[in-house]
Each structure stands twice: as C-alpha cells, then as structure tokens.
Homo-oligomer: A and B are copies of this chain.
Amino acid sequence: MGRMARKLIHKSSRKAGQSPGTLLHIGAKQIETPRISIFDYGARQLNERKTASVEECLAFRESPTVTWLNVIGLHNPEIVSKIGLCFGMHPLVQEDILNTNQRPKIEDYEDYLYTVVKMLSYDEKTNELDIEQVSLILGKNFVITFQEKEGDVFNPLRERLKNPEGKTRKAGADYLYYALLDTIVDSYFIILEKIGEKIEALEEALVKHPRNETLQEIHALKREMIYLRKSVWPLREVVSTLERGESKLISKPTMVYLRDAYDHTIQVIDTVETFRDMLSGMVDLYLSSLSNRMNEVMKVLTVIATIFIPLTFIAGVYGMNFKYMPELSHPLGYFAVWGVMLVVAGTMFLYFRKKKWL
C-alpha cells in the first residue's frame, strides 16, 4: 500500500526550487529504451514505422497527411525536447509530459491542444491497479502521444487504421485524437468490470462467512476507488471542454463523437460513485453482521454460565461440613437436591427461551 501513498505526491519535492520548464523525468522508469512509432495516413495511403528515430519523425512535420507519433518511455528528456522544439510546444508542456504525476487536464495553446489523461490497467502479478499517464497533443494534421510503457490498448485502433474503408482513415487528425481518447475511456470499463466482479465475490463472502480479511479487501477496494475517482473526475472536465467545442482544431462532425465520449465518461463516474456507495453499505453490513454474530455467541455462552452458576452454588451448599445439616442425613436428600437443581435449571432455561435469549 505504501507504493500507492507514494504515488499521490504528484510533483516530486526534489524538483522544488528548479526553474519552471526544466525538463526532468519524474516517475518510475517503466521501459528500458524509449521507442517511437509512426503512423502516417490519408484516405489512400498509409505509412507505418514501428520503430523510428526522433529525426525521422520530424520529417512528417509538414506532410499534408495525418501523422500519429507514438512515444513509449519517458525517461529520456532529450526525445521530448527535440519533438517539442520541432512541433513548437511550450516548455511547460514539455515539462508536464515528463512529469508523470500530472492531474488529467487539457490546455489550449491555439496551435495545438495538450491533453493529459490516465490509463488504467490491472497488474496481473500484484493484483493492484496500475495507473499510466498518457499525454496527447493534437495539432492541425498530427497527433503525438506519449506513453510510459508498452501496452496493447491502442492495437485495435491500429488495425482500424489499416482498413482503407474505415471512417478513421478518412477523417482528420481530430477524429484520430477522439478515437484515442475513446479507447482510453473504454479501458476504464474493463477495470470497472473487474472491480464489479470483485465486489460481487466479496458480497457473497460477506453473506456466507464474514472474515476479518473481508474487511481489509473492502478497504483495499475503497482505496482503489479513491484512485479511480482522482483519474476520472478531472477527465470529465477534459472531455466536457472538448465537447463544448471551444477549440478550432476540432471539426463539427467530430464533436458529435466527443459528446458520445462525454456520455461514456459520465457513465464511468456514475459507476465509480455507485461502487463507492455499495462498498460503504458493505462495510456497514459487515460490521453489524459481525457484531450480531459475536453477540449471539456471547449470549449463548453467558446463558450457559448463568444456568450453571446457581447449580454450582446449591452443590456448594451441600458440600459444607457443618455438623448439623438435617438434609444431609435424609435418605432422599441427594435425589431431592438433584430434583431441585433440575427444576432450577429447567425454569431458567424456559425463562431464557421465552425471553428469546437462547
């Protein structure tokens, strides 16, 4: 969990005092060597390079076709700096791309739109939520994306791009930009489905045999919800800004699609909030059913003790060594005492039963 807490300090304190615009990678190194891939396409041509040097990229700067530059791995500030210089990005944008502790946001620099979003996935090994930062830059005829590490999220989109009849291929850079955003929003649904399954499993466990670990698992899920909210709520503002159509880089037909993406974002937020409500309800139900079970146990045990304590007292009385105890010498004394004890025990038992204490 410590790793999570650390993730929350967005801007590293080591950076305090640095001049703004200083390029410095903040975050964990997630990939060995940064890799750049290029997709340059128009309605009729397609040019894909899986690995390209920074210099090659720059050649596509002025091409009339739509160019998609995908940079994977951020720990080499030089690459960002070169691309930034070539495509005319503000020093603060370059700084923000490298700082993987950004909050999702959108900034309109007139010539280009700078967008930061979070992409979520489940780390299969640690079973922990994994948050990756993706920066998108939309220019007139290019889209540049910066990812922290390799991933196959954008692969279906690449396949669609390869289809010369696809809508994506015919539309402009703004549609590609929308398609990328949509893919990222869609990836949230996968996470939500996984969490939904976890909640389902926990609910069953809760009803059948509540354990102490159940609470810790609910707590862990609640914490994941905190991270999800932190990623999704600002995303809403991002997509909403786009959908209001304030940028001239977004064409009108694309805006209809952005409205759709906005709806999906709202759905994600809605589901996250519902999950939070459900988890809260589960904690209450867990605690009260645990306390109920505990109370039941204690009640039964105490009733047993309460029945036997007076009996033990009676036995104690006739265990006294007084010289003159008339009952002791009576031939039926012993059996009479047993009778008394049975009556006492029976009366108490029936009384407790009647009172529903047993």
> A88 an interface residue at 8 Å Cβ cutoff?
no
Count of identical protomers in the assembly: 5
| A250 CB to nearest B CB, Å | 15
Inter-chain contacts of A334 with B (CB < 8 A): 320, 322, 324-325
The 4 closest A-B CB pairs, nearest first, are A17-B156, A315-B316, A16-B186, A318-B320
Q: Is the CB of B103 within 8 A of A266?
A: yes
Note all chain B residues with C-beta closer than 8 A to A301. Answer: 302-303, 305-306, 357
Q: A316, B323: Cβ atoms under 8 Å?
A: no
Determine if A31 is an interface residue (Cβ-Cβ < 8 Å): no
Of residues 274 to 290 in A, which have CB atoms within 8 Å of B's CB atoms? Answer: 274-275, 277-278, 281, 283-285, 287-290
Given A264-B11, A308-B310; A321-B324 close (CB under 8 Å): no
- For the side of the interface on A, what is the size category? 35 or more
> C-beta contact mask, A256-268 vs B, less than 8 Å → 1, else 0?
1101100110110
Which residues of A in the span 106-132 have a Cβ within 8 Å of any Cβ on B? 107
Q: How far is the CA of A316 from the CA of B320 in the complex (A)?
A: 7
Contacts of A303-349 to chain B: CB distance below 8 A:
303-306, 308-313, 315-325, 327-334, 337
